Amino acid sequence: MKKIKKTIKMTSSALLALCMVFLMSACANSNSQSEQSQTTEQTTVQPTTMSAEEINDQKLDKFISNMTLEEKVGQMFYVRCPDEDAVKQVSEYNIGGYILFGRDFDGKTRDEVINNIQSYQNEADIPLLIGVDEEGGTVVRVSSNPNLRETPFLSPKDTYANGGWNAIEQDAEEKADLLLSLGINVNMAPVCDMTSDENGFMYDRSFSSDVDMEDRYVRTVVEISKGKKLGTVLKHFPGYGNNSDTHTGIAYDDREYSEFESTDFKPFYQGIESGADCILVSHNIVNCMDSEYPASLSKKVHDILRNEFKFDGVIMTDDLIMDAITDFTGDEAAAVTAAKCGNDLLCCSSVETQYPAVLEAVQNGEIPESQIDASVKRILKWKQNLGIFNIDTYQ
C-alpha cells in the first residue's frame, strides 16, 4: 500500500512536472510568436503609390531605352521641309518634326495642304511636330494664301489697336483652329521680344515695349493655344531688343544683365508660368552672358534657362543655316555645338549634313548619350502634351 501510494505520489509529481514543462513551453512559444508578429509588423514596408507623372516617366524611360541611337538623334532634328523627297526624309533620318514655310502653302488648296502633312505623319514611326511661323503681320506663312484664309492675320500690334484684348483672344483662337485643322500642331509664336526702336529689326513683330502689356499678351496666347493643344514657342530668348537681323550676320548685344532682368526676361517667365512647352534661343551674342558664343550655341545661356528660370521644357535653336551661325562656325560644327550646349531641338535646313555630324559626336563620346536621352524625353513629353503621341500604344 505504501508502495502504491509512493508510486502514485511519484506519478503525481511527474505529471505536475510535465504540466509545468508544457505550460512553460506554451508560454515561450506564445512569446516567440508575439515577438515574431511584432517584428513582422515593424519590418513590413508599406507600398508607395506612384504619381501619374512618375509612371509616365518610367514608361518614357523604357521606350527611349529601346530606341536606337539613330532614332534618338533623329528626334532632335526639327527640319525645314524640303521641296523634294519630304516623305522619304522623314524615315531616312527619323526626324522629330518639320517646320513649314510660305513655299509649302503658296497656291495650294486646303485639301492639298492637309494631304501633304498627313503623308509626312504616315511615314513617321513617332508622330511629327509640324510647325509654322504664323505670328501675324509680316510673318504669315499660312494666312498669306487666300485659299486658306480670306485675308492674312494682322500683326499683334494692329490686332490690339483694332479691338483691344478681346481681339487678341479671338485672334489666338482663330489661329489655333486654322492651324490645327490643317494638321499643324505647333505655332512658332508668341514673339516675346520687346523693342522701342521703330527702325529695329524686331519692331514690327513685337507686341509692346511695355512689360505689363507684353506679359498679358504672352499669357493670353499661350493659355488659349495650350487649351486647344496647339504648341507654342517663346522666342527669341534672351530677348532681341533693338539688335540687327541675324539672318544676315552676327548681332552683338551690349546691354547690362540687369536690363534683361527688369524687362526682357519677364515675358519669358510669364510664358513658362502659363504653360509654354518650348523656348527658341536667338543667335545674338549677348556679351553680359557669353561674349564668345551666340546665345543659341552658349551653354551659359542655356544654364540660365535651366537653373535660373527652372525651365524643364524643350529648348530649340533658331535656324542653324542663318548667316549669324554659318559666319561663326561651319555647318556641321554648328549642329554639334548646339547639341553639346543643351539644345533639345535643332532647327535646320541641312539635315543631310548636320544629322551625321551629331550622330558621330555621340558615337565617339563627344556628346554623352545620356544627354541625348534627356532631350528626347523632353521632346516626347511635348508631343504627349499636344495629344499626338500616346506612349501606351507602344507598350
Q: For 108-134, what is each residue's pLDDT tens digit?
A: 999 999 999 999 999 999 999 999 999
Count of C-beta atoms within a 10 Å radius of residue 1? 5
Average pLDDT in the chain: 88
Report DSSP state, residue 295: G
Q: Whole-angstrom Cα distance, residue 357 to residue 73?
A: 10
* pLDDT in the model for residue 333: 82
Confidence of residue 32 (pLDDT cuts 50, 70, 90): very low
Taking residues 233-252, report their average pLDDT: 78
Phi, psi of 121 (to 5 degrees): -65, -40
Residue 181 CA to its chain's centroid (Å): 23
Confidence of residue 33 (pLDDT cuts 50, 70, 90): very low
Task: Please report the pLDDT score of residue 12 as a whole number.
Answer: 43
Task: Report if pTM > 0.75.
Answer: yes
Write down the pLDDT at residue 330: 64
Long-range contacts of 308-312, Cβ-Cβ distance < 8 Å, separation of 24 or more: 309/265, 309/268, 309/269, 309/272, 310/272, 311/272, 311/279, 312/378
Residue 13 has a pLDDT of 44
Q: What is the pLDDT of residue 114?
A: 98
Name the more confident of 4 and 149.
149
291-294 contacts at long range (C-beta below 8 A, 24 or more positions apart): 293/337, 293/341, 294/246, 294/250, 294/324, 294/325, 294/328
Strand arrangement, sheet containing 346-348 = 314-317, 278-281, 231-237, 186-187, 129-132, 97-100, 77-80, 346-348
Identify the pLDDT of residue 38: 46
Amino acid code (one letter) for 63: F
Q: Which of 127-141, 198-212, 253-267, 335-349 has the lowest mean pLDDT?
A: 198-212
% the chain with pLDDT above 90: 76
Name which of 176, 177, 159, 180 is nearest 168 in CA terms. Answer: 159
Q: What's the whole-number mean pLDDT along residues 232-240?
A: 96
pLDDT, tens digit (0-9, with 9 covering 90-100), for 319-354: 888 777 777 776 668 899 999 999 999 999 899 999
Pairwise CA distance, residues 74 & 359, whole Å: 9
Helices and strands (H and E) in the chain: how many: 14, 12
All structural domains of the chain: 69-390 (3.20.20.300)
Kindly indicate the confidence band of residue 6, based on its pLDDT and cuts at 50, 70 and 90. very low
User: Tell me, what's the pLDDT at 199?
Assistant: 83
In this structure, the number of other CB atoms found within 10 A of the CB of residue 254 comes to 11
